[in-house]
Amino acid sequence: MAIASSASASSEGVRDNSNKTFLDEEAAELDALVTNLEKTNTVTILNSFDTRLAHLESSVLPIHKSTQSLTRLAGNMNQTVAALESILSYFDLAAREETIIMRPLTEQDLQIYLQSIGRIREALKAMNSVNLKAGERAVQQLRRSLKVAVGKLHELFKQILVKHSVPLDLRVVTSSDRKDIPHMSQHPTQTLVQLAKSLAETELDPNVTPTGYLKSYCEIRANTMIKSLEPLYRSSMVELKGVYDKGSSPFIQYTASLLKLCRNEADVADTLLDAKMLSLAFMGSIMPPIEQWVEAGRSIVKRVKKSYMSEVGILFDIVESLETSMGTFESVYGLARRQKENDAFELLKSFKAGAMRTFIDFLNELRNQNNVKYQAMPPDGSVHQLTSDVTDQKKKEKKCNPESGSGPSAQNRRSQAAGRGGRNAIVQHYI
C-alpha cells in the first residue's frame, strides 16, 4: 500500500516536470513570435514611411527645383542691378573726381590723388567692357580726366627727380666702390617709386623707345651725368702743353668716372623703376653721356692724327686704360642689353688704329731711306735729322749772337724742336 502510494506520487512529479518544460517551450516560442511580430511591424512601418517619403519627394521635387531656379534668377537680378548701379555711377564719376584731379598736386595730396586715379581707371575698364553707346560720352570724360591726372603725376615726378638729381663733383667723389656717391633720401625715393608705379600702368611698353615719364627719367638722369662729367669732358678736349706724363691724360679719369656713374645709375634705376622697365631706362640714361665720351675720344684721335705728333703717347696710354676697363664696359652694356653695340669697343679700336698709324708714320719718318736728306748721318751723331738741323742752327745762332735766342723766330724754332723731339721720348717710353 505504501509502495503504491509512493509510485503514484513519483508519477505525478514526472508529469509536473513534463508540463513545466512544455510551458517553458511554449513561452519561448511565444516570445519569439512576439519579437518577429514587432520586427514585422517595424519593417512595415518603415516601408510605409519609404512609400510616403517617395510620394512626398515626387510632390516636393518640382517645387524645390522651381525654388532653386527662382533663387538663381533672384541672385542674377541682384548682380545685374548692382552692376547697373555701378555702371550708372560711372557716368558722373568724372565730374565727382574733378574736384581732386583739377587742384594742384603736391606730395601731401599724393595718396588721395592716386586713389582718385584708381577709381577712374576702374571706371574706364568697366565702361569699356560693356561697350554702351550711351556711355561713350562718359568714357571720353573719364579719359580726359585720366590724361590730366597722369600729366600732373608726370610733372610731380619730374620736379622731385630734378630736385634730387644733383650733379656730382668728381674731384671729391674718387672712391672706386661708389661709397662716396650720396644716395637719395628715403622719403623722395618712396614718392618716386609710387609715382613711377602709377605712371607705368598707363603708357609703357618695355620693348619700345622710352616715352612719357620714362623719357623724362632718361633725360634728367642723363643730363645729371653729363653735368657731372662736363669738367672732365672739357679737360679731355684741351691740347697737350709740354711733355706728357704717363697716366695723366684727363680722358683716363673721364673713363673711370663715366663707368662709376654708369654703375651708380644702374642702382638708381633698380631702386626707382619696375624691373620690366629697368633695361630701357638704364640704356636711355647712360647712352647720351657715353656718346659724349665717344665724341671726346674720337676728337683726341683726330687731333693726334692731324698735327700733334707729340700726343701719340696719350693714345697708347688710353688704349692701355681702355683694355683694362673693357670688362666693366661689357657688364654695363649687358645691363642695357646692347652687347652687340659696344661703343667702347669701337672707340678702343679707333684709338689703337690711330696710335699704330701715327707710330708707323713716325717710324717711317725715322727710317726713310729714299730721301737723300736722311741718308747721311749728321755730324753730331743724332738719329733724328730734323732735331739735328735745329741743333746746328742753334749753335750757329749762339756763335753769331749770344742773345739771338730771345727773338720770336727763335721761340718758334724752340717750340718746333720740342714738339718733334718729344716724339723720341714717347717712343722710348712706350716701346
pLDDT digits (tens, 9 = 90+) for 59-114: 878 888 888 889 999 889 998 888 788 888 888 888 888 888 888 888 888 899 99
Helix axes 312-335, 343-366, angle to 10 degrees: 160
Classify 62 as helix, strand or coil.
Answer: helix
* pLDDT band, very low/low/confident/very high, at 423 (cuts 50, 70, 90): very low
The winner for highest mean pLDDT among 51-65, 196-210, 212-226, 266-280 is 212-226
Predicted confidence (pLDDT) per residue in 109-158, tens digit: 889 999 999 999 888 888 888 877 777 888 888 888 888 888 899 999 99
What's the distance, CA 40 to chain centroid? 84
Residue 413 has pLDDT above 50, yes or no: no
Give the per-residue SS3 of 259-271: HHHHHHHHHHHHH
Q: How far apart are CA 270 and CA 189, in angstroms?
A: 12
Query: Do residues 110 and 156 make contact, with C-beta atoms less than 8 angstroms apart?
Result: yes
Sign of torsion, CA 122 125 131 135? positive
Averaged pLDDT for residues 392-417: 45
* pLDDT (tens digit per residue) in 314-353: 777 778 887 787 777 777 777 665 544 556 666 666 666 6
Q: Which three cell numbers stand for residue 371?
A: 730721301
Q: Alpha-carbon distance 212 to 216, whole Å?
A: 7
Enumerate long-range contacts of 52-55, CB under 8 Å, 24 or more apart: none
Mean pLDDT over all residues of the chain?
75
Cell of 179: 661709397
Report the distance separating Cα 346 and Cα 351, nearest Å. Answer: 9
Q: Within a 10 A sphere around the Cβ of 384, how many other Cβ atoms? A: 18
CA–CA gap between residue 103 and residue 123 (Å, rounded): 21
Q: Name the one residue in this structure whose C-alpha cell is 577712374.
A: 120
Burial label, 254 (beta-carbon count in 10 A; 0-12, 13-18, 19+): buried
Q: For the chain, what percentages of helix, strand and coil (3-state, to nearest 5) are there? A: 80, 0, 20
Question: Has residue 309 got a pLDDT over 90?
Answer: no
353 alpha carbon, distance to own chain's centre: 36
The string of DSSP letters for 313-350 reads HHHHHHHHHHHHHHHHHHHHHHHTT-TT--HHHHHHHH
The closest of 181, 172, 355, 351 to 266, measured between CA atoms, is 181
Q: What percentage of the chain carries pLDDT values higher than 90?
A: 10
SS3 204: coil
**Res 219 pLDDT > 90:** yes
In angstroms, the first-to-last Cα distance of the chain is 167
* Among 34-43, 190-199, 224-233, 378-387, the least confident range: 378-387
Cβ count near 77 (within 10 Å): 10
Under a CB-based contact definition with an 8 Å cutoff, are residues 351 and 322 in contact? Answer: yes
- The pLDDT assigned to 63 comes to 84
- Which long-range contacts link 268-271 to residues 24+ away (Cβ below 8 Å)? 268/184, 268/221, 269/221, 271/184, 271/189, 271/193
Better pLDDT: 364 or 61: 61
Report residue 218's pLDDT band, with 50, 70 and 90 as the boundaries.
Answer: very high
Question: What is the average pLDDT across 175-192?
Answer: 82
pLDDT winner (highest mean) among 119-123, 204-208, 366-370: 119-123
How confident is the model at residue 7, as a pLDDT? Answer: 55
For residues 196 and 274, the answer to whether their CB atoms sit within 8 Å is: yes
What would the grid cell of residue 103 be? Answer: 587742384
Average pLDDT over residues 29-35: 80
What pLDDT does residue 8 have?
61
The per-residue pLDDT for 157 is: 93
Q: What is the mean pLDDT of residues 355-371?
A: 56
Which amino acid appears at position 297 of this protein?
A: G
Would you put residue 381 in left (φ > 0), alpha (ψ -120 to 50) or beta? left
What's the number of CA atoms in the CB half-sphere (13 Å) around residue 90?
28
Alpha-carbon distance 174 to 291, whole Å?
A: 23
pLDDT score at 185: 87
Q: Which three cell numbers stand for residue 112?
A: 588721395
**C-alpha–C-alpha distance, residues 56 and 335, integer Å:** 76
What is the pLDDT, as a whole number, of residue 223? 95
In the chain, the percentage of residues whose pLDDT exceeds 70 is: 68
Are 253 and 293 contacting, i.e. CB atoms less than 8 angstroms apart? no
